[in-house]
Amino acid sequence: MRIGILSDSHDQIGRTAAAVALLAAEGAEALIHCGDLTEPAIVHTVAEGGIPCHYVLGNNDFDLEGIERAVIATGGTMLGWAAEITLAGRRIGVTHGHLTSEFRRLLKANPDYLLFGHTHQWLNERDGAIRQINPGALHRAREWTVAMLDLDQDEVQFHRVR
């Protein structure tokens, strides 16, 4: 299973649409957005790709009710501030990264993967058995990036979004 990972859209609708199209073209079977959507319109943009979507909230997601309504309306899955999901038999912790207590709680649960955003810098590193992945950002970054995680191969690729 191939998972497209994006974060920190910050209302960049055109760039987010380009990121979703890129991930779809790369064969994403699910998308995980690691927070800082900022407005409900981004949820609709992500959902337009027609790929099942999971979302966590970030520190710039102020319209919580509007974002949650958009997720429900588009058939996505709202994970709140942090959650663990299972895809293709792999445990995946997801958070934005700004709440250190949630980050630590997910690390302590020992998932196979921990996905997060917030820093606007891509990262792929192992912490013991846990692979931590930050896809980068689609706003306020030197280069705009997303990530593709192949769960079957345990491989991560980063893609530049134009």
Residue 17 has pLDDT above 90, yes or no: yes
Element (H, E) at 59: none
Domain ranges of the chain: 2-160
Element (H, E) at 52: none
Q: Using DSSP bridges, classify how beta strands 145-150 and 2-6 pair: parallel, antiparallel or unpaired.
A: antiparallel
Residue 157 has pLDDT above 90, yes or no: yes
Mean pLDDT of 22-39: 97
User: Which CATH class for the 2-160 domain?
Assistant: alpha beta
pLDDT of residue 31: 98
pLDDT of residue 51: 97
Q: Which two tokens stand for residue 24?
A: 């779809």
Model confidence at 127, in pLDDT bands (50, 70, 90)? Answer: confident
Q: What is the pTM of this model?
A: 0.96
- Other Cβ atoms less than 10 A from the Cβ of 98: the count is 18
φ/ψ bin of 128: left (φ > 0), alpha (ψ from -120 to 50), beta (otherwise):
left
Neighbour-count burial for 41-51, b at 16+ CB within 10 Å, e otherwise:
bbbebbbebeb
pLDDT digits (tens, 9 = 90+) for 47-81: 999 999 999 999 999 999 999 999 999 999 999 99
> What backbone torsions phi and psi does residue 85 show, to the nearest 5 degrees?
-125, 165
